[in-house]
Chain A
Amino acid sequence: SQQGEEDPQALSIQEGENATMNCSYKTSINNLQWYRQNSGRGLVHLILIRSNEREKHSGRLRVTLDTSKKSSSLLITASRAADTASYFCATDEGGANNLFFGTGTRLTVIP
């Protein structure tokens, strides 16, 4: 079963614009991770945010976590065509380290 749910399912923006993706989950977590996947193969880890953190930055990425709402958001600033990919959030349900992935957001950045 999958725990995280991303919103929207698909997002299309112009190069240079910001992209925001949201993720909701159902049970308590220790951390939440965001991954990127190109062409349906090989996930690339982007960022990990722990349950006691509220915001984290990495380059053009900004992740927020609201444990009271059981939700997270991923913001990509100044998007580039190379950012076109599917983005997944993944959580560790109940303390385990077996990641539970959502269905992903498919981002298209138009040059």
Chain B
Amino acid sequence: GAGVSQTPSNKVTEKGKYVELRCDPISGHTALYWYRQSLGQGPEFLIYFQGTGAADDSGLPNDRFFAVRPEGSVSTLKIQRTERGDSAVYLCASSLTHGYNEQFFGPGTRLTVL
């Protein structure tokens, strides 16, 4: 596609449930990033992939959060045992390669944990 796409656009779940958020980066972009944005705040870095491997996962808040990118394209962010504090907009971005380049963002997934 022409841009980064994310599905679903909205996700409502109950506390304790498991959720998966999907990101389709721009074709040919080797670097992929996940961010989380709470209301009134700027995006906060979660994890970065170069190809299939997670090059930096230092932003993941705890071990309930996990992300994969098995074929170096589509990525899935997985959240186990969701908590109300996980409610936020989850943004995915991609760039042509790692290294001080412009990142192209998707529209985000708004996660609401009841």
Task: Write the nearest CB–CB distance from B67 to chain A, whole angstroms.
Answer: 14
Task: Write the nearest CB–CB distance from A18 to chain B, whole angstroms.
Answer: 23
Instruction: Write the chain B residue with the least CB distance to A97.
Output: B98
A48 and B56: CB pair below 8 A?
A: no
B89 and A97: CB pair below 8 A?
A: no
Within A18-42, the residues touching B (CB, 8 Å) are 30-31, 33, 35, 40-42
Tell whether B1 is near chain A: CB-to-CB under 8 Å.
Answer: no
Q: Which residues of B contact A103 (CB under 8 A)?
A: 40-42
Q: Is the interface of A mostly helix, strand, loop or mixed?
A: strand
Instruction: Write the chain B residue with the least CB distance to A95.
Output: B100
B-contacting residues of A (Cβ < 8 Å)? 1-2, 4, 30-31, 33, 35, 40-45, 48, 50, 88, 90, 92, 96-104
Q: How far is the CA of A4 from the CA of B41 in the complex (A)?
A: 12
A-contacting residues of B (Cβ < 8 Å)? 31, 33, 35, 37, 39-45, 48, 56, 59, 89, 91, 93, 95, 98-108, 110
B105 and A101: CB pair below 8 A?
A: no
Q: How far is the CA of A30 from the CA of B98 in the complex (A)?
A: 13
A43 and B41: CB pair below 8 A?
A: no
A98 and B43: CB pair below 8 A?
A: no
Q: Which residues of A contact B100 (CB under 8 A)?
A: 30-31, 50, 92, 97
Q: How far is the CA of A28 from the CA of B48 in the complex (A)?
A: 21
A42 and B107: CB pair below 8 A?
A: yes
B91 and A101: CB pair below 8 A?
A: no
Q: How far is the CA of A103 from the CA of B42 in the complex (A)?
A: 5
B108 and A101: CB pair below 8 A?
A: no
Q: How far is the CA of A97 from the CA of B103 in the complex (A)?
A: 9
Q: Which residues of B contact A42 (CB under 8 A)?
A: 91, 105-108
A98 and B48: CB pair below 8 A?
A: yes
